Amino acid sequence: MVDTRGRVELGTTDAAFEQFVDAVTQRLRRALVATYGVEVGSEACADAIAWGWEQRGRLAAMANPAGYLFRVGQSAARTHLRRERTIDLTARAEARDDTDPRLDDALDALPARQRTVAVLVHGHGFSYAEVAELTGRTVASVRNDLHRAMKQLRHRLEES
């Protein structure tokens, strides 16, 4: 299901879709959580997977189904954010429980794209190509964002 470039392929059968979901869900959820936080990112991931199941025929014909689901998840996350102006920060507080509130604050200060790339690459061990595929961007763009994000994080964390 995963080709030599790390791209997740999708067959036309239901079993193939389930295999695709197994392969892509974790990285999709991680990417959406890195962008929108634990609660909204998780809900958006669930919405994207549900949409993918309903539209699995269309999805199978796409060149980059995982990237398309990420964009579906982005739309779902925006819908959640519009509906729920006040975000439940419980999950986020739990994540902050053990350590490093300064890192959380520094990540919050980053633009969403840079934050996503930094967390995926250094927090979850994604390759540049995997991030590029999932977010529908070029490897060069991912590399640039990561460079800017790390520069900003160093500036914020090392000066204080």
Partner 1 sequence: MTPTIEARLARHGERLDAATARYVDERPARPASTDLDEPRDRKSPRRVVVLSAVACVVIVGGVAVALHTVRTHPAVSTRPSIATTTTRVAPVRHVATDGRFVATVLPPGLVPHEQRRFLEPWVDNLVHQHTFVGPDHRLALAITAMTDLKMETPGAHPRVVPATAVQLMNTVGDAPTSTHLTFAGRPALLSRVDDQPSALILSWAVRDDALVQIVSEGAYDAAELERIALGLRAPS
Chain positions contacting partner 1, by CB under 8 A: 29-30, 33-34, 38-39, 41-43, 47-48, 50-51, 54, 68, 71-72, 74-76, 78-79, 82, 91-92, 94-96, 98-100, 103-104, 107, 118-119, 122-125, 150, 153-154, 157
Output the CA torsion sign for 148, 151, 157, 160: negative
| Min CB(4)–partner 1 separation in Å | 25
| Min CB(61)–partner 1 separation in Å | 14
Of residues 8 and 115, the one with the C-beta less far from partner 1: 115
Residue 146: its H or E element: helix 139-159
The set of residues, in sequence order, having a beta carbon less than 8 Å from that of 92 and lying 6+ positions away, is: 37, 38, 39
Of residues 4 and 54, the one with the C-beta less far from partner 1: 54
- Return the ∠ at Cα 111 (arms to 105 and 117), rounded to 5°: 95
d(CA 73, CA 32): 7
| Min CB(111)–partner 1 separation in Å | 15
| Min CB(72)–partner 1 separation in Å | 6
d(CA 64, CA 154): 34
Of residues 43 and 145, the one with the C-beta less far from partner 1: 43
Of residues 4 and 131, the one with the C-beta less far from partner 1: 131
d(CA 160, CA 18): 47
Of residues 20 and 30, the one with the C-beta less far from partner 1: 30
d(CA 141, CA 68): 18
| Min CB(98)–partner 1 separation in Å | 6
